[in-house]
Amino acid sequence: MAEQTAGRTLPPLPGLIAAGLVILGVLLSMFVAEGFLALAGLGAFGPGILRELGLLSDQDEFQRQAAHRAGYHAYLIGGLATAFVVSALRSREAATLEDSSEWVMLILVVLWTTWLFSALLAYWGARKTASGVLSVFGSLWAVFVLASIIGEAENIVEILLGALMGSIVVVPFFVLARKAGRWPPRRTGAALLAVAALFLVLFVPGWQARAFKLSSLLVTAWLLIVPLVASGIALLREGAQSEEDGSPPDMAG
């Protein structure tokens, strides 16, 4: 698999278009109207539907196998998450029409990100996947933090303070994205897991203090923590595999 992924630098054009639709849909739903989330759904699930219908033939056999394996992973993790959500809501009699859309959003986020990470790991390998995923999620968090600062700050001092606090979230994504191809994988993986643990310690109590809905808290925590944890575990596994094979670490730059 390493030989197959070594020469792959970018997904095929339909994959790039789909990623663009997902990002555009998420941003428009955040800042314009929530209905634009359908655009993200079109990008996330549309290409796969077209491929299964035989209307889009942009993947070779290796890519199709990787996508199907990722789909099975998404089925397992998404199904488990759905079962836990339904069980928790019914046992607490907490399911309401007002909250239902947020719980559905959580399940969709779990499904899609699981598929994305699995497919990219098979396609790019741990290092390129970690670098790409961290860069994309870091950029999305940067936009979200900047928009929050502009929307809430009343003067330049508050903007500067908000930017300083927001950098605590954003900067680690970009720093570790750059180091993913330069440090030995086990070192980068350990750093990613350490940052994820630090985020949990720093931010979860704050979210709870602000009385966020549990569904919103879980969606935010998933999008903040899971990219770090998934990339970290993948790099640790790659480092362990390299040591077992006796191959020297591949240092870039």
In whole angstroms, what separates CA 6 from the centre of its chain? 22
Mean per-residue pLDDT over the chain, rounded: 81
Q: Summarize pLDDT for 177-201 with one digit per residue, the tens.
A: 888 878 888 899 999 999 888 888 8
Q: Which pair of tokens denotes residue 155? A: 């003067």
Task: Report whether 134 contacts 15 (CB < 8 A).
Answer: no
**What does the alpha-carbon distance between residue 68 and residue 139 come to, in Å, rounded to a whole number?**
28
Identify which of 11-15, 24-28, 209-213 has the greatest average pLDDT. Answer: 24-28
pLDDT digits (tens, 9 = 90+) for 126-148: 998 899 888 988 888 888 888 77
pLDDT tens sequence across 224-236? 888 889 999 999 9
Task: With H, G, I as helix, E, B as strand and everything else as coil, classify residue 21.
Answer: helix
* Predicted structure pTM score: 0.78
Helix H, strand E, coil C: the string for 148-201 is: HHHHHCCCHHHHHHHHHHHHHHHHHHHHHHHHCCCCCHHHHHHHHHHHHHHHHH
The whole-number average pLDDT for the span 160-184 is 83
The encoded tokens of residue 154 equal: 């009343």
Q: Is the pLDDT of residue 80 over 90?
A: yes
Query: What pLDDT, on a 0 to 100 scale, did the predictor assign at position 7?
Result: 43
* d(C-alpha 39, C-alpha 23), whole Å: 9
Q: What is the band of 210 on the pLDDT scale with cuts at 50, 70, 90?
A: low
Largest CA distance in the chain: 58
